Structure 1
Amino acid sequence: MPSNNDLDLINNLTSQFFDVFTNSNNRTPNVSALKEMFIPEGIIISNTNGNTIVYSIGSFIAPRIEMLTNGTLLNFSEYEVSHKTEIYNTIAHRFCNYEKSGELNGKYFKSKGIKTLQFIKVANHWKLSSVAWCDES
């Protein structure tokens, strides 16, 4: 059985993951924090509408920082609505429903989707190894 502490740590890491993109209420997003949340070899995958894009952590961060700080994407926030987490020893998986909203190129949007997050425990610390998402059409 996983410990409550492991689940708390995974819950916290997941909250931090979603929070790094927030730029609503004049907040400065902290996308660079992803480097500390992931193992160095981590990947992030967008798989919406049959368009699969696989990013390394480095290739994902730079365009997000630009988009979230140059006025392209304003008042953005993204958060979990529900989730299921399974932990087995030093690996874990989380499947979650999420919602996001903001103003992209001056137009308000709100959408939702599903994310899958994989975690590994390295030197007693949980890290993300991969995240994949599919937005609802």
Structure 2
Amino acid sequence: MTDSAAEHVELERMVDAFFSAFTSGEGVGARLDVLRQLLIPQAVIVRTCGGEPAVYGVEDFIAPRQALLEGGTLTGFHEWALGGSTEVFGDIAHWWGSYAKEGVQDGVAFTGRGRKTIQFIRTTEGWRISAAAWDDERPGLTID
């Protein structure tokens, strides 16, 4: 298979769906169901953020975030890609980019930025996410 503009568009839409899944307010369940469909069942998601990496399976990753997004203590929250690049080789692909997030947690507004990597594989059902990992800005680690 060749690397095509259509593949890049499809993969970028998947990246956008990944980020938009983490938006508080109405429709959380539906957005997270879309995310479940985009991930292979064995996908691995890793949060680093300066501590011991936290490694999640699909439901271990989604369930607590769904509870937080629907629980009422986190409002006005959303994440979005600031920019990134996608590379495709045969049946594998990779997105590397930066992102931002903002919201209100327990009445306190916050913002943040970080970098995320998302890996894709081509399956018989089409492109799916096989892994994702991220790290957030903190003292001594900033996005230039």
Name the TM-score, length of structure 1 as normaliser: 0.93
Q: By how many angstroms is 1:65 displaced?
A: 0.8
* Structure 1 spans left out of the alignment, 5+ residues: none
Structure 1 segments, 4+ long, off by >6 Å, are: none
Query: Which residue does 1:136 correspond to in 2?
Result: 137
Query: Which residue does 2:27 correspond to in 1?
Result: 28
Query: Which residue does 1:82 correspond to in 2?
Result: 83
Secondary structure, aligned partner of 2:132:
strand
Contact 2:120–2:129 under 8 Å retained in 1: yes
Contact 1:95–1:115 under 8 Å retained in 2: yes
Q: Distance in 1 between matches of 2:125 and 2:11?
A: 12
**Equivalent residues in 2 for 1:1-137 (5 A)?**
1-23=2-24, 26-29=25-28, 30-123=31-124, 125-137=126-138
Contact 1:28–1:69 under 8 Å retained in 2: no
Q: Distance in 2 between matches of 1:10 and 1:96?
A: 13
Q: Distance in 1 between matches of 2:9 and 2:125?
A: 14
Name the TM-score, length of structure 2 as normaliser: 0.89
| Residue identity matched to 1:130 | A
* Structure 2 spans left out of the alignment, 5+ residues: 139-144
Q: By how many angstroms is 1:124 displaced?
A: 5.4
Contact 2:17–2:35 under 8 Å retained in 1: no
Contact 1:42–1:57 under 8 Å retained in 2: yes
How much identity, in percent, do the aligned residues show?
33
Which has the larger strand fraction? 1
| Root-mean-square deviation (Å) | 1.2
Q: Distance in 1 between matches of 2:57 and 2:115?
A: 20
Q: By how many angstroms is 1:50 displaced?
A: 2.4
